[in-house]
Structure 1
Amino acid sequence: MTEFQKVLQNSLFLVEGLAAFISILYYRRAKDHYWKYFSFYLILMFFCELFGKWGGNFVEYNKPKFFNYFVIPIEFLFFYWLYAAKSLKRPKLFYIMSSIYLLSFIPNEFYFVPRKIILSFNYTLGCLMLMILVIMEYYRQVNSSDILNFSKNKMFYINLGVTLFYIGTLPFWAFFSLLTKYMELWNIYFNYFLISGIIMYILFSVSFIWGKQSS
């Protein structure tokens, strides 16, 4: 890892913590709304990152398994719920996508060689389904009567952040093992992964500051 990437990685960690902190500051606005769960999500993700960063100093654990079987599934399932069940108001779609994603662990275990860093098969599938929800959300926003007030729409910031990070880094994780053979290209993608993560958490923070609970 280059010095620049170390700076980006530390910045991503700090910005993720900042997003969790801001969600706490603005919790009063969200406590009677389903957006309170977004606060819980950001706090949980930050503590997971804390554990991933320093947990090995206190307890022995398998870091890739911790992220592959706990952290990443929570990320996808939460965003499926937020997009499908809440923003798009299609709870059946949430259950369908969640079931497909969870079932994708079965072929991943039996037919694919486990990746050192990430389980690329079900991560790719999870991202593709999230991409469908992202497109649907963009369509909903464009056709909404509140399009002129998009700056007050919490989902506008969240959707943009998810697009940049999850959808934008999909090729990086889908072809991770292949890209390791071309380190120059790998470094470009890894830099984008870190930068887009920083931008995403900044947008998540902005969604609390400027976004309205009714959006």
Structure 2
Amino acid sequence: MTELETILQDSMIWVEGIAALVSILYYSRIKNQYWKYFSYYLILMFLCEVIGKWGENFIDYNKQNFFNYFVIPVEFIFFYWIYAAKSFGKPKLFYAISALYLVSLIFGDIFSTKKIIMSFSYTFGCLILMGLVIMEYYKQINSSNILNFNRNPMFYINLGVTLFYIGTLPFWTFFAYIIVYREIYHIYFSYFLLSGIVMYLLFSISFIWGRQNS
């Protein structure tokens, strides 16, 4: 990694910690609402990143499998829940898309030999998330409360997810091709890290400026 990438990667971990800390500080305001699970999620993700960064110094584990079969699935399924079950009020949609994603995770190895796809399940999961993001933008634009968008925590969450997950989808989907062109790779990888930092800052803002409703 370049020096910039190292700085951004280390910064991203601590920004995740800041987001988790902010959610704890505002927990009393959301403890009786479903948003408390967003706090649990942020704390869990920070702990997972800490394990990914320093865990090998203390325990023997497969980092790749840890992220591919636990961390990333938790990320996707949690956001499916926030969008489909809570924001849209469609729990059946949540169960359906979660099942489809889990099927892609189980059978994704079939596609691992195709260089054009780095991770079939990740790409598929992001495409589902992209559909939910578009639906959320449509919902917010057509909301009667659009002028108070800055008080809607989903505005910040949706923007963060757009920048990070959707913005870096081509990078991971076509990773095998992009990595050959080192200059493009380093630019896009730096964007991946920077967008992650911005996303977790937006998650923090969703607690500070947003008005969570049960």
Interval of TM-score (by shorter of Structure 1 and Structure 2):
over 0.9
2:48 aligned with 1:51: no
Q: Is 1:22 the equivalent of 2:22? A: yes
Structure 2 match to 1:79: 79
**1:104-119 matched pairs, under 5 angstroms:** 104-113=104-113
What are the residue-to-residue correspondences of 1:57-206 with 2, within 5 Å?
A: 57-113=57-113, 120-206=119-205
Other structure's SS at 1:211 match: coil
Runs of 4+ in 1 over 3 A off after TM superposition: none
Task: Kindly provide the amino acid, as one letter, of the partner of residue 186 in structure 2.
Answer: N
d(CA) in 2 for partners of 1:139, 1:30:
26
Q: By how many angstroms is 1:93 displaced? A: 0.9
CA displacement at 1:114 relative to structure 2: 9.3
- Counterpart secondary structure, 1:141: helix
> CA contact under 8 A between 1:84 and 1:90: conserved in structure 2?
yes
Q: Relative to 1, partners in 2 of residues 1:153 and 1:3: Cα closer, same or farther, differing over 3 Å?
A: same
Greater mean deviation of Cα atoms: 140-149 or 104-113: 104-113
Q: Indicate the residue corresponding to 1:6 in structure 2.
A: 6
In the TM superposition, residue 36 of structure 1 has moved relative to its aligned partner by 0.1
User: What letter corresponds to residue 195 of structure 2 in structure 1?
Assistant: S
Distance in 2 between residues matched to 1:176 and 1:17, nearest whole Å: 28
The answer to whether the Cα contact below 8 Å between 1:97 and 1:129 also exists between their aligned partners in 2 is: yes
RMSD: 1.5
CA contact (8 A) 2:118 2:175 kept: no
TM-score (norm 2): 0.96
How many Å apart are 1:214 and its aligned residue?
1.7
Displacement after TM superposition at 1:145 (Å): 1.0
Gaps of 5+ in 1: none
Q: Secondary structure at the match of 2:13?
A: helix
Residues 81 and 119 (structure 1 numbering): CA distance in 2 closer, same or farther, change over 3 Å? farther
Instruction: Report the AA paired with residue 86 of structure 1.
Output: K
- Is the Cα contact below 8 Å between 1:15 and 1:202 reproduced in 2? yes
Alpha-carbon separation, structure 2, partners of 1:106 and 1:10: 31
CA distance in 2, matches of 1:135, 1:98: 18
C-alpha contact (below 8 Å) 2:30/2:36 kept by paired residues: yes
- CA distances 1:147-192 after superposition (whole Å, capped 9, x unpaired): 0000100000000000000000000111112211111111111011
Unaligned 5+ segments in structure 2 are none
* CA contact 1:108–1:119 (8 Å) conserved in 2: no
Which whole-Å CA distance do the structure 2 matches of 1:114 and 1:17 have between them?
36
Deviation at 1:112, TM superposition (A): 2.2
Q: What's the CA shift for 1:119?
A: 5.7
Residues 42/114 of structure 1: CA separation in 2 closer, same or farther (3 Å cut): farther
Give the distance between the partners of 1:196 and 1:110, measured in 2 at CA: 30
Name the % identity.
66
For residues 55-77 of structure 1, the C-alpha deviation after alignment (integer angstroms, 9 at most, x for no partner) is 10111111010000000000000
